[in-house]
Each structure stands twice: as C-alpha cells, then as structure tokens.
Structure 1
Amino acid sequence: MRVKCVICDAIHHLDDNLPLAKKLRNRPIHTYMCDTCHDRIKDNTIARIETGNFRFYRTSPQMDKEF
C-alpha cells in the first residue's frame, strides 16, 4: 500500500497486512505520518515541555501540576 505523509508529502510503502495499513484503508479520516516527522514533532514537544511554558489543555490542572 502506498501512503503519503501529511507533513512532508513523502510517499512510503506499507505492507498490506499491517494493522496501520488496514486502519488507513478502512477509516479514511486517519492520516499517515512518517517516522521522521513523528520523531521531529516528539522532540520539539519535549523541548517545549522543558521550557515550562507548555500547557496540556486536555487534562485537568491537577494533572498538569503532577506532571
């Protein structure tokens, strides 16, 4: 299965029997992000958390304090 990264528009090939390929095929709302872009976003998020100015909006303020 050919998939395209939503951020960098790189085209990758996935095995048709992988769970990710089945999820993308059966649910078109899900998008594919390559490992390079995923790692870059993860590193940038970790760097923003370390600055102390990052706020999690999906959690309660109590959980933010514990984190």
Structure 2
Amino acid sequence: MDIDIEVRYLSERDVYAVTVPTVPSASLEVQTVEEAAYLARARVGEITGTDVEAVLVASVIELDDGD
C-alpha cells in the first residue's frame, strides 16, 4: 500500500497544510491506515519542526498502484 498523507497543523499565528506524497507503507512499518496516520505525525514533525501534538492528520489516501 502506498499512501498520500495530508497533514494540517497549527502554529501560534497560522494554520499550515503539508502533504507527504506517495509514502510506501513498508518504510513507515504500518499495517493499517490508522497506523499510517499516527506515524505521519512524527514524519511531519521532522519535516516541519512542528510540535507533534499540534499535528492533525487530515486525510490518508491509499493510492492505486495500477496492478
């Protein structure tokens, strides 16, 4: 399963959105969409430097790999 993860997060003054596209689930070590959303918080925290507690995963979309 490959997934796109859209994450919305807050700072003191702004609301941001970031998309982590086409993340292979194997690299996240996940088995379910719920686990992907949970681990996406940490990934986005690394990318943006945002406090992980402020991160809300807006959507996790499974992509059709065309097979």
TM-score (norm 1): 0.26
Higher RCO (C-alpha 8 Å, min separation 6): 2
The answer to which structure has the higher helix fraction is 1
The answer to which structure has the higher strand fraction is 2
Structure number, greater radius of gyration? 1
TM-score (norm 2): 0.26
